[in-house]
């Protein structure tokens, strides 16, 4: 079931709301940082309201723009809200962009300090398999 769709992202959930899938497209690199943060937080709030056990974040088209303290914001706002919503597993499909991959590695280390397991994958098939275990 589609929960949200716009020119930058798609957010959907399965029928039982136990798994949420979030994907970004390449248009995000054209966004200003404030708009990007707002779009991401809107999706996180929707995910959190459904309280899924697992989240698949397909970020293969995400390009990190180098915003100051972005990783700290992700840790506090994104990871914190997902953790508070009871998300137990976060599967991230890796970005094709090397700088973005490095930023996401930092995110993963911080996410694992919370109570959710975070793993990276090269494709959605592998991510879905892990989420269903």
pTM of the full structure = 0.82
Please give the CATH topology (third level) of the domain spanning 2-132: Transcription Regulator spoIIAA (3.30.750)
15-45 pLDDT, tens digit each: 787 888 888 776 666 677 777 788 888 888 9
Domain parsing of the chain, residue ranges: 2-132
The pLDDT assigned to 131 comes to 94
E strands, the chain, are 2-5, 9-13, 19-24, 54-58, 89-93, 117-121
80-120 pLDDT, tens digit each: 888 888 999 989 898 888 877 777 776 665 555 567 888 88
Residues listed for the chain? 133
């Amino acid at each position: 079931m589609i929960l949200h769709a716009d020119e930058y992202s798609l957010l959907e959930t399965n029928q039982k709301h136990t798994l949420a899938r979030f994907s970004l497209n390449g248009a995000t690199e054209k966004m200003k940082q404030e708009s990007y943060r707002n779009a991401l937080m809107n999706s996180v709030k929707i995910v959190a309201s459904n309280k899924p056990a697992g989240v698949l974040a397909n970020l293969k088209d995400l390009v990190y723009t180098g915003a100051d303290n972005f990783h700290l914001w992700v840790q506090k706002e994104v990871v914190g809200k997902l953790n508070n919503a009871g998300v137990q597993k976060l599967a991230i499909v890796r970005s094709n962009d090397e700088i973005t991959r490095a930023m996401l590695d930092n995110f993963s280390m911080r996410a694992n300090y919370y109570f959710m397991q975070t793993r990276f994958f090269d494709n959605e098939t592998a991510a879905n398999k892990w989420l269903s275990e």
